[in-house]
Amino acid sequence: MSTQLSEQELLRRQKLNDLKALGINPYPPEEFKVNATALDIKENYERDKLNYKDISIAGRLMSIRDMGKACFAVIQDATGRLQIYVRKDDICPGEDKTLYDTVWKKLIDIGDIVGVQGYVFTTKTGEISLHVTSLSILSKSLKPLPIVKTDDSGNSFDEVSDPEFRYRQRYVDLIINPHVRDTFKKRTQIMTSIRNTLNNAGLLEVETPILQSIPGGATARPFITHHNALNIPLYLRIANELYLKRLIVGGFEGVYEFAKDFRNEGMDRTHNPEFTVLEFYVAYKDYNWMMNFSEQLLEKVAMDLYGTTVVKVGEQDIDFKAPFKRVTMFEAIKEHTGIDISGMDEEGLRGACKHLGIHAEASMGKGKLIDEIFGEKCEGNYIQPTFITDYPVEMSPLTKKHRTVEGLVERFELMVNGKEIANAYTELNDPIDQRERFEDQLKLQERGDDEAMFIDHDFLRALEYGMPPTAGIGIGIDRLTMLLTNNAAIQEVLFFPQMRPEVKHETEEVN
């Protein structure tokens, strides 16, 4: 591999060789035993000083202030940052001062990972610090951290804010921006809260195939791959819905899965081709029950995360306190456009789109046209959690028809801060009706709609054995995390969002 090294990188490689020449392994294999963390020391030292006289801690050097025969430095572990005090006479007792003068002052850099032992004390300025008596290099950093500065208290901070850099080199972002780690800790807390609630409700966590022969369960363009041994095309799943409903057919009365789904579509601040969805299905329930359950679920998540149902999102205070507002789709469209579309055919909907200045592709059927109108003119108005209910049958191929209103289905979407967070149905369990809906989707494919559903004959066969009345929901974990961590871009809540390939340049060979 060829690469162009900067002067700093060349210097660090020279330091690496110098350490080896001194007989110091810059990447030692031995275990370094840690008995404390930065957070533990800061939170507990003042009330329990006797237990902090023999401390061993490891972390990355984030700043160094040289004071001649001593220095202050800051190390960062997984819990935070801690100031350390390194004095020449302490780590180099006797006449040999090589370790301090040659190694510490000349060969150790910001970014190196070190292990230190010593005792905790409080400086004259009141900062809890570790007085180092022993120091070990655990990993030499060959690349300098980008633009790390130090304030008067020895605390380091960064000026890196370029999203391209941060998303592409997330590992560096996590080092220099500790608050980013907090976002991902909260993401895990959100999922843990949901998992605990579902487990307590008696649902079973399951796993279903990612590679599928039929990309079913949603209207989306799939990624296609090829299985060499079977010599067949396979698809990365766009949803796990049809497999979870097969399990309901099989006798499980409540199942859920945190699923990685994939859709070969555009990328923007709210879409990534790989994303995480929670789907769960409960037998003998309907969409009314699911509205009640899901609003209680999200209220509990907010409480578990912050101790309050009110969450700051941008300039908005969003309240997840149940119950949420409920508005039918046709009511929403009429309210925000002044047009009643409830009795319109496809031609009428095209006329409405034209009147509203909405572009409508020739391949769009009634469902897509209504979806375009709602998305363009209504969706962004719902800031506080709101259930949009009772969708047209053309928009919902997997949903049971409405029990009282002809032409509608029992479906809702949850809107928060102007975006869809969840989608739920009273599930269609009539195999004959389901077959007809799939056949309607096939006609849309023939018109050029590459997001229309495939016919899944095995799923139809499963329904023919009988599926009990069922309520199901999909909740976008990435978007929910965006809301609950006050992040405007999906890339901020994904460790490794999809990026365009880096531009490669001709480089010189490094030996």
Handedness of CA 191, 192, 197, 199 (dihedral sign): positive
Averaged pLDDT for residues 270-289: 97
CA 357 – CA 248 distance, rounded (Å) = 44
pLDDT at 216: 84
* 153-185 b/e (C-beta count within 10 Å ≥ 16 → b): ebebebeeeeeeebbeebebbebbbbebeebbe
Backbone angles phi, psi at 329, to 5 degrees: -60, -45
Q: Is the pLDDT of residue 159 over 80?
A: no
Of 387, 386, 376, 326, residue with least CA distance to 349: 376
% the chain with pLDDT above 90: 77
Q: pLDDT (tens digit, 9 = 90+) per residue, 396-449?
A: 889 999 999 998 999 999 999 999 999 999 999 999 999 998 888 888 777 777
Per the listing, tokens 């879409």 go with: 271
Say if residue 97 is in the same domain as residue 197. Answer: no
Q: Where residue 398 sits, what CATH number does that domain have?
A: 3.30.930.10
Of 364, 339, 438, residue with least CA distance to 396: 438
- Give the residue ranges of DSSP H helices in 177-316: 178-200, 241-249, 287-306
Is 502 a member of any domain?
A: no
Is 509 a member of any domain?
A: no
Q: Which residue has the higher pLDDT, 509 or 152?
A: 152
Last residue of a domain, one of 103, 129, 159: 159
Mean pLDDT score across all residues of the chain = 91
Dihedral over alpha carbons 333, 297, 490, 261 (to 10 degrees):
-90
Q: What is the DSSP string of 191-217?
A: HHHHHHHHHHTT-EE----SEESS--S
Is 319 a member of any domain?
A: yes
Res. 8 pLDDT band, cuts 50 70 90: very high
Q: Is the pLDDT of residue 199 over 80?
A: yes
Q: Where residue 72 sits, what CATH number does that domain have?
A: 2.40.50.140
Q: pLDDT (tens digit, 9 = 90+) per residue, 160-177?
A: 778 888 999 999 999 999
Res. 262 pLDDT band, cuts 50 70 90: very high
Residue ranges making up the domain that contains 100: 7-159
Say if residue 102 is in the same domain as residue 223. Answer: no
Is 361 a member of any domain?
A: no
Q: Is the pLDDT of residue 505 over 70?
A: no
Say if residue 118 is in the same domain as residue 212. Answer: no
pLDDT at 178: 86
Most confident of 88-92, 297-301, 350-354: 297-301
pLDDT at 97: 67
The answer to whether the CB of 253 falls within 8 A of the CB of 284 is: yes
The answer to whether the CB of 140 falls within 8 A of the CB of 112 is: yes
Say if residue 267 is in the same domain as residue 147. Answer: no
What is this structure's pTM? 0.89
Q: pLDDT (tens digit, 9 = 90+) per residue, 216-240?
A: 888 789 999 999 999 999 999 999 9
CA 491 – CA 166 distance, rounded (Å) = 10
Averaged pLDDT for residues 151-155: 55
Task: Give me the number of domains the chain comprises.
Answer: 2
Q: Is the pLDDT of residue 510 over 50?
A: no
Handedness of CA 46, 51, 53, 58 (dihedral sign): negative
Say if residue 100 is in the same domain as residue 225. Answer: no
DSSP H or E stretch at residue 149: strand 148-150
Query: Which residue(s) pair with 128 in the sheet?
Result: 122
Say if residue 77 is in the same domain as residue 220. Answer: no
Say if residue 149 is in the same domain as residue 187. Answer: no
Say if residue 208 is in the same domain as residue 121. Answer: no
Say if residue 96 is in the same domain as residue 186. Answer: no
DSSP H or E stretch at residue 176: helix 170-176
pLDDT at 149: 57
Is 370 a member of any domain?
A: no
pLDDT at 507: 45
Say if residue 394 is in the same domain as residue 480. Answer: yes
Query: Would you give the end-to-end CA distance of the chain in angstroms?
Result: 10
Is 172 a member of any domain?
A: no
Res. 509 pLDDT band, cuts 50 70 90: very low
Among 49-63, 142-156, 188-202, 224-238, name the one with the lowest average pLDDT: 142-156
The answer to whether the CB of 499 falls within 8 A of the CB of 174 is: no
Q: Is the pLDDT of residue 148 over 70?
A: no
Backbone angles phi, psi at 200, to 5 degrees: -65, -25
Averaged pLDDT for residues 497-510: 67
Between strands 128-139 and 80-87, the pairing is: parallel
Is 66 a member of any domain?
A: yes
Is 228 a member of any domain?
A: yes
The answer to whether the CB of 415 falls within 8 A of the CB of 385 is: yes
Averaged pLDDT for residues 442-459: 81
Q: Which residue has the higher pLDDT, 91 or 58?
A: 58
Averaged pLDDT for residues 366-394: 93
Say if residue 63 is in the same domain as residue 19. Answer: yes
Say if residue 144 is in the same domain as residue 247. Answer: no
Among 42-51, 235-244, 434-443, 476-485, name the one with the lowest average pLDDT: 434-443
